Structure 1
Amino acid sequence: MSFDLAVWDGDRPLDNRQAGSTYDELYERYLESDDVAVPAAPRITAYVEALVARYPDDVDRSVVWASTPVIDEASGPVVYLLMSYDKAEEASEYAAELAREHGLVCFDPQGECLRP
């Protein structure tokens, strides 16, 4: 079982409904598409690097990530984070805080809400 977050580069939506629409558009365009992979945007790459500096995504050492390497879940301006459920509370809190520090939007697609 996993806990998921989406983090993207863009203006912060006004509310959860707008965030859900933005998430759906980004997911369909960048993550679900079978087209040629789009390299992660520089701000997303920097975010993922900072995130895995705290929570390594090495297959043999990772206790947080349900999918590694984390950068493989990034495309263009968005990254989809799949966290092991037992570490999700701590890691998701840090991921949301780090997103805010990087000027990125953090959205919980399961709860359909923006993370502060």
Structure 2
Amino acid sequence: MSYDLAVWEGARPEDDKTAGRTFTALYDRYVDTEDEHPPTERIAAYVAALLERWCDLTEDVEDTSPWSTGPLIGEASGPLVYFPMRWSMAEEASTYAAALADSMGLICFDPQHNRLRP
């Protein structure tokens, strides 16, 4: 079981409902497609910052990474990164990921609860 977060570039939606629609539109355009979209510089920088805190799953020899897939940058497409984390580490990792997104001027959205974070 995993917990997913979506982080993207753009103006902060006015409410959770608008954020949900924005996430769905970004997902349909950048994830649920056969087209490849390299991550934007800001999203790549965000992923790199996450990996400064916890190693990539592909390099996790001590089982300390919260990520459920690797390489983590593979979950980024265009202005969006939609990534899963292990349920057992989701609270700590998602709190950090949401705060980091906010500090970098990015939007963080919890698709499980259909709400903006933090």
Counterpart for residue 52 of structure 1: 51
SS in 2 for 1:14: coil
2:103 is equivalent to residue 101 of structure 1: yes
Shift of 1:81: 1.4
Aligned length: 115
Q: Where do 5+ consecutive residues of structure 2 fail to align?
A: none
Out of 81, 84, 89, the residue aligned to residue 83 of structure 2 is 81
The residue matched to 1:49 in structure 2 has which SS?
A: helix
Instruction: Report the counterpart of residue 23 of structure 1 in structure 2.
Output: 23
Q: Give 2:114's aligned residue.
A: 112
**Percent of matched pairs sharing the same residue:** 52
Distance (Å, rounded) in 2 between the aligned partners of 1:63 and 1:73 = 15
- How far, CA to CA, are the matches of 1:33 and 1:40 in structure 2? 15
Q: Normalising by structure 1, what TM-score?
A: 0.96
Q: Deviation of residue 22 (structure 1)?
A: 0.1
Contact residue 57 and residue 69 of structure 2 kept, 8 A: no
Q: How does 1:26-45 map to 2 (within 5 A)?
A: 26-35=26-35, 37-45=36-44
Q: Distance in 2 between matches of 1:85 and 1:60?
A: 19
User: Would you say the 8 A contact 2:101–2:108 is kept in 1?
Assistant: yes
TM-score, normalising length: structure 2 = 0.94
Deviation of 1:60 (Å) = 4.5
The root-mean-square deviation of aligned C-alpha atoms, in Å, is 0.9
1:91: which partner in 2? 93
Q: What is the 5 A alignment of 1:5-20?
A: 5-20=5-20
Flag as ranges the 4+ runs of structure 1 deviating above 2 A: none
Q: CA deviation at 1:58?
A: 3.7
Q: What is the identity, as a one-letter code, of the residue corresponding to 1:111?
A: H
Deviation at 1:30, TM superposition (A): 0.1
Structure 1 counterpart of 2:23, one-letter code: Y
